[in-house]
Amino acid sequence: MTEKISVDTARKLTVVSLLSTARRRKEALVGLSLLSGVIIVAPAAPIIAPYNPIAQDISSQLQPPSWKHLLGTDYLGRDQLSRIIYGAQIDLEIAIALFVIASVSGTAIGIVAGYRGGKLDEALMRITDVFLSFPDLILALTIAAVLGHGIINVIIALSITFWTPYARLARAQTLQVKRELYIEAASAVGASDTRIVTRDILPMIVPAALVHAALQSSQVILSAATLGFLGLGAQPPAPEWGLMIQGGLYYITSSWWLSVFPGLAIVITTFAFNLLGDSVRDLLDVRSMERR
């Protein structure tokens, strides 16, 4: 019964199920709507943005929000709305790249550790513990400072920082699943380790990994913005949200819109990821499904 519930749970993770959950839960609908808006706006930036995000117009510098510039202009006369729209591309690219790198590497390490066990498991988990012993942001800052500024280095620094939860999660799921009778039966009939891992263990890990990714994405956006704010991420004139906040600090008392609107973009995006992550987690909760 345990393995059947797990398989059914894994299969529940579909677009239709998410949309069905969104219709029943207001917070899921809000999160999905906000995140869909960000995801649609980012690739459509060249079409949606009213101005070139890096084009300077000194005659229009530090203009407050108006019909011509809905979110005002910065100290170089660049349109804030256009820069925020293009900034969504940068931060979402970082989040997606990090998810792919951290989830794949962390899950692989966790599966190997849990499935093989023994000294290999002990060694891999001790390495994981070393990385977990450092605060995430401090470790990312240190690595980014060593590597140098730039988006690629930010992705590398955050990937090195955020793979550990996937490893722990994958190991725990692997240890649980490999004790099931159907795994023993598959091994008894001669199924290879690769076949067992890919067909029986990995599908049990993917849903939980996706939930963690949705919840972690908000932290990734904040960390990327923090690195940009500190000058370790995207460099001028790139329209990255954290960098935009940093650029507006000098004018915060007179031109509040320079830092407030990029900050709101970060808040809305992280809020959407958190709501969506909570909804997916509830969708995959066995007890919640049984009540429904």
pLDDT of res. 283: 66
**% of the chain beyond a pLDDT of 90:** 38
- At 22 the pLDDT is 52
Residue 235 reports pLDDT greater than 60: yes
| Residue bearing the bigger pLDDT, 182 or 120 | 120
CA dihedral 212, 218, 222, 223 (to 10 degrees): 20
Is 269's pLDDT higher than 50? yes
Q: H/E/C letters for each residue in the chain?
A: CHHHHHHHHHHCCCHHHHHHHHHHCHHHHHHHHHHHHHHHHCCCHHHHCCCCCCCCCHHHCCCCCCCCCCCCECCCCCEHHHHHHHHHHHHHHHHHHHHHHHHHHHHHHHHHHHHHCHHHHHHHHHHHHHHHCCCHHHHHHHHHHHHCCCHHHHHHHHHHHHCHHHHHHHHHHHHHHCCCHHHHHHHHCCCCHHHHHHHHHHHHHHHHHHHHHHHHHHHHHHHHHHHHHCCCCCCCCCCCHHHHHHHHHHHCCCCCHHHHHHHHHHHHHHHHHHHHHHHHHHHCCHHHHHHC
Which class for 30: exposed (0-12), middle (13-18), buried (19 or more C-beta within 10 A)? middle
What is the tally of structural domains in the chain?
1
pLDDT band for 19, please (50, 70, 90 cuts).
low
**Boundaries of domain holding 225:** 2-291
CATH of the domain at 214: 1.10.3720.10
| Tens of pLDDT, residues 38-80 | 888 888 999 999 999 999 998 889 999 999 999 999 999 999 9
Average pLDDT of span 157-163: 91
User: In the numeric block, which tokens belong to residue 198?
Assistant: 């890919």
Q: Is it the case that residue 237 has pLDDT exceeding 80?
A: yes
265, pLDDT greater than 80: yes
The two tokens of residue 71 are: 């979110």
CA dihedral 84→89→91→95, nearest 10 degrees, is 150
Give the pLDDT mean for 227-252: 90
pTM exceeds 0.75, yes or no = yes
